[in-house]
Amino acid sequence: MDEASFENERNRLGGLLLLKGPDNQSSGKEPYYKKLQTYTGSTYLAQTLVPDFYKANCAMGDFIGSSGLQFAPAPQFTRETLEQRSELLYAITRKIWAI
């Protein structure tokens, strides 16, 4: 994703992610591949972006199966990733508020 596209799309729902404590500010300007390292020790939602999170994580596999939510790792931040993540967060919101 080029810089102009990134700036236009970064505030979409799928591009928003809150981290614990000062992690949000400290990782703000890092390239995405470095942010993934921060996400590993952060919130559960942030961890779902990290490919290794799914390795031998039976509980998450069971949750995906029972909820029907399309969680998936995002090793790169692309327009497709942003779209998929936006759809996932919308689906989570619908489940929470039973829309």
Tell me how many degrees the CA angle 18-21-26 measures, rounded to the nearest 5: 80
Rounded to 5 degrees, φ, ψ at 78 are -120, 170
Confidence (pLDDT) at 99:
63
> Would you give per-residue pLDDT tens digits along the chain (99 residues)?
677 776 777 677 788 787 888 877 778 778 889 999 999 989 999 999 999 999 999 999 999 999 999 999 999 988 899 899 999 999 999 999 986
- Global pTM value: 0.82
- Distance in angstroms (rounded) separating the CA atoms of residues 32 and 11: 15
